[in-house]
Structure 1
Amino acid sequence: MQVVRHVVCAMSGGVDSAVSALLLRRRGYQVTGVFMNNWDVVDEHGMCSAEKDCEDAYRVCQKLDIPFHQVSYVKEYWHEVFSYFLNEYEKGRTPNPDVLCNKHIKFNHFLNYAIDNLGADAIATGHYARTSHEDEDIFQNQYLKSSQTLFRNRFEIRNNVKLLQAADFFKDQTFFLSQISQCALRKTLFPLGGLTKDFVKKIAAEAGFHHVLKRKESMGICFIGERNFEKFILEYLEPQPGNFVSIEDGKILGTHKGWFLFTLGQRARIGGLRDPWFVVDKDVATGDIFVVGASFMSNLNNHSVR
């Protein structure tokens, strides 16, 4: 008699996680859906869409006739992801919250919950990525939590797994998974790794997941959503006004609310100026952001070509 494997699938309320759960069911696995709430709606005065996301995830699980659970990692997200994110911004760096979120929340706390509390044989997410292990390899891998000591057990048997690029190069998300541990990779399935986004949408349409197909593609901060980034960050960090300064002639072109809001290379939207200007340097001491015009960059590139 074949053992039925239990896979706990992270449900976001979007099309990718919905199709992931569907594909797992079609493979004959016992599937449980879990929605993670990691941002306090009260703090954002109702701006967060977590309640709607949770409802959409629940409807998918109802349609698939699989159990549905909710877990909250609000405190963990704040301390392990968002606080670090803010501290790095104050230092002038631009960390990627999705990388941190995957490392600390989805592939640590959620993984432990799925295995320890729900008895999962493996977890699954809707990421576009692949691994070097087949499904059965994942189920056979022993779950060994990351060692808290400096040295690992020399007698520990390790079956290392490689993180591989998804079939859909445009949607590939391996960068965002680059910091998750080996112990997490060894127990994770990526059902969408061999599919394109268009094909995933087709599967969702055929399965009747019309409510998730209508959703806009999520492009915001992990678990927080898409919003006015400058306004959002300034709710947590003190404004540090400064000037936009042309690196060509030293002319002040406008003002900004904080040098930490800008990344080198990004377009600086300066009030009153229609032509594009781009950030090339920042002076933390004065708060000045040095910018260069597109025409200057074009001339520079033409000169280097010659």
Structure 2
Amino acid sequence: MKLSVGLMHVRRIVCGISGGVDSAVSALLLKRKGFDVVGLFMKNWDIRDEKGTCTTDDDRKDAEFVCKTLHIPFYEVDFVKQYWNEVFSNMVKDYENGITPNPDILCNRHIKFNHFIHHAKTKLGAHAIATGHYASTSVGYNLDQIDPQVGVSLLCAADTEKDQTFFLSQITQWALQKTIFPLGDLTKAEVKKLAAESGMEKIAKKKESMGICFIGSRNFHSFIEQYIEPRAGNFIDVDTGKVVGEHKGTHYWTLGQRCLLAGLSAAYFVCNIHPEDNEVIVASGTDHPALFTSSFITEGCHWINGAPPSNTFDARFRFQHRHRLINCTGHQEWHGGYNVLLDQPMRAVTPGQFAVFYKDNICLGSGRIWKLGPTLHEQGLKEKVSFPKDLS
């Protein structure tokens, strides 16, 4: 991306520094562009695991190392309270209600692209912020040339394997107009190479963080029972209606998940959850028709740069970060959400997850999945379903 002459109106950029290679190279690139770069480390979690470890401690040290190496100021901010109230508490409530949430998407909307921006502007004098997400925008670095009538679109990254627009699909237009994504045109390999060449080899070699940040390497069942009391219930076979096992609570399970049921040779998978009856409905085989649906209804959708011009839209869709996109059509319902019809049945579409919509390389926005349409099993199909592995 080339800088325009007008860019000089945007001088100070507060770059989120996580201690990882992506945010480190983002700050490096901004500094090379001539910006006044400030590093800001964000603390969202402060509870140590059963070993007395909090990964935030090590990440903070690495973030400070990055800023020293790049000769930029280092600051930190505590958003633990905000994260607990606006992300984590809602996540726990969802699990209690048999819903599988996506806290990463909510963290981006409420914390990184709301509280972080406000802090950067009011406390650190930022004209804009930057993060290490693999994404781009329609204006690139030229935030001072935004046409209010046109707005800013969120674009997919060049590295399709690392593209993170899925996790940014709830970002507001206000926030997008104040954000730069320096890594949008780079691959992960190029990012690591730049870090190593710039005195940050140890950051380039650092193991990439995966999964939900506050769970870390812990078993999810062990983690969640610290916040939700176990409540014994039954696994019910969807074909026979018979009890085939017992569980400790519906909050431990999500659609499509395999259940290891004692004494049964067949592999069973979750196809429905009834929290009100404390029942988990299971199906025999990963390709059972009870695991597949061709439609669902969303809650009200968030459109990043304007809603579709009519009550119907055609787009491409995914509800898992690494799924390939498939075609869909959405029809707006009376409550503001959309009835989404898929071009092909999908396995384990899950209430609480976000349906993210795309047109070409533009991320249009997303809506949380509210409820599912009839499964293929409910429509009378008895045979196993053949489905692409990249949609499993």
Q: TM exceeds 0.5?
A: yes
> Equivalent of 2:245, from 251, 254, 258?
254
**What residue in structure 1 maps to residue 196 of structure 2?**
205
**Mapping of residues 1-306 of structure 1, within 5 Å:** 5-41=11-47, 46-136=52-142, 138-140=143-145, 160-222=151-213, 225-270=216-261, 276-294=267-285, 297=288, 299-301=383-385
Structure 1 CA distance for aligned equivalents of residues 261 and 206 of structure 2: 32
The question of whether the paired residues in 1 share the 8 Å contact of 2:139 and 2:146 is answered with: no
Q: Among the aligned pairs, what percent are the same residue?
A: 54
The question of whether the paired residues in 2 share the 8 Å contact of 1:41 and 1:50 is answered with: no
Deviations 1:81-101 (A, max 9, x none): 111111111111112101111
The question of whether the paired residues in 2 share the 8 Å contact of 1:48 and 1:224 is answered with: no
Q: 1:141 to 1:224 in 2, by over 3 A?
A: farther
TM-score (norm 2): 0.67
Structure 2 CA distance for aligned equivalents of residues 177 and 295 of structure 1: 30
The offset of 1:250, in angstroms, is: 4.0
The question of whether the paired residues in 1 share the 8 Å contact of 2:10 and 2:127 is answered with: no
Deviations 1:132-170 (A, max 9, x none): 11312x14559xxxxxxxxxxxxxx55511111111112
For CA contacts below 8 A with separation 6 or more, give which structure has more relative contact order. Answer: 1
The offset of 1:271, in angstroms, is: 5.2
Cα RMSD between the aligned structures? Answer: 2.5
Amino acid at match of 1:216: K
Structure having the larger proportion of residues in helix: 1
Structure 1 CA distance for aligned equivalents of residues 209 and 139 of structure 2: 29
Structure 2 CA distance for aligned equivalents of residues 263 and 236 of structure 1: 17
Unpaired runs of at least 5, structure 1: 143-156
Deviations 1:182-226 (A, max 9, x none): 111001000111111122122222223222233222122245534
2:15 is paired with a residue of what secondary structure? strand
The question of whether the paired residues in 2 share the 8 Å contact of 1:128 and 1:166 is answered with: yes
Structure 1 CA distance for aligned equivalents of residues 114 and 286 of structure 2: 48
Amino acid at match of 2:220: F
1:9 is paired with a residue of what secondary structure? strand
The question of whether the paired residues in 2 share the 8 Å contact of 1:282 and 1:290 is answered with: yes
Structure 2 CA distance for aligned equivalents of residues 177 and 260 of structure 1: 26
The question of whether the paired residues in 2 share the 8 Å contact of 1:8 and 1:124 is answered with: yes
The offset of 1:291, in angstroms, is: 1.5
Structure 1 CA distance for aligned equivalents of residues 52 and 146 of structure 2: 42
Unpaired runs of at least 5, structure 2: 290-382, 387-392
Structure having the larger proportion of residues in strand: 2
Q: 1:63 to 1:232 in 2, by over 3 A?
A: same
Q: 1:132 to 1:257 in 2, by over 3 A?
A: same
